[in-house]
Amino acid sequence: MATLAQNAGMSNPLLGLDWVDHFSKLPDAYFSRVAPEPLSAPRMVHFNAPLAAQLGLPASSAGDADLLAMLSGNATRPDTTPIATVYAGHQFGTFVPQLGDGRAMLLGQVRNAGGELFEVQLKGAGHTPYSRFADGRAVLRSSIREYLCSEAMHALGIPTTRALSLSASPDPVRREEIEGAAIVCRIAPSFVRFGHFEFFYYQQRNEMLAPLADHLIRDHFPQFADFPNKYAAWLTEVVERTARLTAQWQNVGFCHGVMNTDNMSALGLTIDYGPFGFLDGFASGHICNHSDEAGRYAYEQQPRIGYWNSSKLLQATLPLLHEQPEQAVEIAQGILGRYPAAYADAVLGGWCAKLGFQEVREGDRDLVNLFLNILDRGSNDFTRCFRGLAQVSTTSDAAPAIRDEITDVAAFDAWLSSYRARLQAESTDDAARAVRMNRVNPKYVLRNHLLQAAIEQSEHGIDTEVDRLFQLLSRPFDEQPEFESYAAQPPEWARAISVSCSS
């Protein structure tokens, strides 16, 4: 297999995009120039046509051989070298002074016709200076997980990186066993993480903090560019975005699995899909990552970790806030103090919307917690139970169908009486409320057993289930009766599925 990619053919539709490459124009201290390692005999497992259109790629791009060559590491842009960025991070609470893009390479940054900026990154394209003795590869199993979940999260309305393509190869990659290689082309406004700032702060290279922050502000927070306290304004926005993002994860039952600071986006995006999981049976202490033996990143811990991670970002950017350390700390503490209220407002607003309330009222928090406790005690299905509440009637005592799935029926019946009274207090039409609730309570989420079926097929060269899940999850709130079985309770064997930091 070749070890150096060739220049892309001039017919490659990617070359017709408006490449601006702002990040690669920063000083070399932020990155290393790298060459992708080609995949042999690559095939396009899936191509994200809607995202391609948003970027400005023509509809015919999916079958373009030159496009596949670049997306599988077999070609690069002429006169442009991909880069891998350097960062640090707190991993499971322990600071690691140098990490970086160990298996990711930034091809560049494009601007679409609407002026939106997107970075284009290959994940799994081979070794970089930050691979730390690893091979820089990704396997098909984990790549399918990231490709589908990032798009599922986008359809749920949760800020996230996205994926343009997924290509695979028979090239062997050793993990727990030998698996096939794959590359995901990831798309995001920016892949800058909290850990980028930590790297320079803990190296006492404070002069490198401002150029990186200025880059982000210019491209993604231009409203703050002329503020005399622009860094404080930017960091306040990042902290509040992080709080709101974590609230959205909680509301939809999403567990990230590895909330290290190097996996936290400086734009408030969901980034780095490894051992994630959507809750099946609700368990507040659910740990989706079997590598997380202490449960640091359990579902119920995510809001606290978002706060802790935000404190580490503020620690790393203290030199930007004030030249006097004491005053910088005071400003940072004020910014961090915005997190709890931002999270509390967002998460309660999300829960109330899921229950069909048109406004938040006194006592709603208790009503939410009572329902979650009922689900928790019985490990009842999170997604199905919230979706089923749309069938509750305020004009009769008829039980909704979901009652048959609740373990603690007596507690549910008592709660249901209070819930009906709360709905009646708003004089809401049941049909209109059901429509509203079904817009925020998905019928379909990317459950692990659905992923497993797609992975097993694709590992045998059959990619139809990947496409089926992609289409299904692009409309998670719609009934889609032809896919009704995908909304069923998971089979018993799904309990044995285990994901880890290698997933």
3-state secondary structure 455-477: HHHHCCCCCHHHHHHHHHHCCCC
Residues 213, 192: Cα–Cα separation, whole Å: 10
What is the phi/psi pair of residue 238, to 5°?
-65, -45
Residues 40, 44: Cα–Cα separation, whole Å: 12
Kindly tell me the sign of the dihedral angle through the C-alpha atoms of 419, 420, 423, 425.
negative
Q: Which of 33, 25, 50 is nearest to 150 (CA)?
A: 50
Q: Is 272 marked as binding a ligand?
A: yes
Any idea which residue has 């969901």 for tokens?
270
The CA-based dihedral angle spanning residues 90, 95, 98, 99, taken in that order and rounded to the nearest 10 degrees: -30
Residues 432, 429: Cα–Cα separation, whole Å: 5
Strands of 86-189, DSSP E: 89-91, 94-96, 104-111, 117-123, 138-139, 162-174, 178-188
Quote the crossing angle between the two packed helices 364-378 and 338-354, to the nearest 10°. Answer: 70
Q: Is 354 marked as binding a ligand?
A: no
Does 404 participate in catalysis according to the annotation?
Answer: no
Choice among 64, 66, 219, 262 that is catalytic: 262
Strands 178-188 and 162-174: antiparallel
Q: What is the pLDDT along the chain (503 residues), one digit of tens a residue?
A: 344 567 766 578 999 999 999 999 999 999 999 999 999 999 999 999 999 999 999 888 988 999 999 999 999 999 899 999 999 999 999 999 999 999 999 999 999 999 999 999 999 999 999 998 889 999 999 999 999 999 999 999 999 999 999 999 999 999 889 999 999 999 999 999 999 999 999 999 999 999 999 999 999 999 999 999 999 999 999 999 999 999 999 999 999 999 999 999 999 999 999 999 999 999 999 999 999 999 999 999 999 999 999 999 999 999 999 999 999 999 999 999 999 999 999 999 999 999 999 999 999 999 999 999 999 999 999 999 999 999 999 999 999 999 999 999 999 999 999 999 999 999 889 999 999 999 999 999 999 999 999 999 999 999 999 999 999 999 999 999 999 999 999 998 888 787 877 54
Supply the pLDDT for residue 109.
Answer: 97
pTM comes to 0.96
Within the chain, what is the greatest distance between any pair of CA atoms? 71
Give me the amino acid identity at 47: F
Residues 376, 373: Cα–Cα separation, whole Å: 5
Environment class of 99 (CB within 10 Å of its CB; exposed 0-12, middle 13-18, buried 19+): buried
Environment class of 84 (CB within 10 Å of its CB; exposed 0-12, middle 13-18, buried 19+): buried
Q: Which of 117, 119, 111, 82 is nearest to 17 (CA)?
A: 111
Supply the pLDDT for residue 502.
Answer: 59
Supply the pLDDT for residue 9.
Answer: 60
Cβ atoms of 78 and 8 closer than 8 Å: yes
Q: Is 136 marked as binding a ligand?
A: yes
Residues 71, 73: Cα–Cα separation, whole Å: 6
Residues 271, 259: Cα–Cα separation, whole Å: 9
Q: Is 123 marked as binding a ligand?
A: yes
What is the phi/psi pair of residue 244, to 5°?
-65, -40
Q: Is 186 marked as binding a ligand?
A: yes
Supply the pLDDT for residue 487.
Answer: 98
Any idea which residue has 């051992």 for tokens?
275
Q: Is 100 marked as binding a ligand?
A: yes
Q: Pull the structure tokens for residue 394.
A: 């305020």
Kindly tell me the sign of the dihedral angle through the C-alpha atoms of 17, 22, 25, 29.
negative
Strands 75-76 and 6-7: parallel
What is the phi/psi pair of residue 167, to 5°?
-120, 150
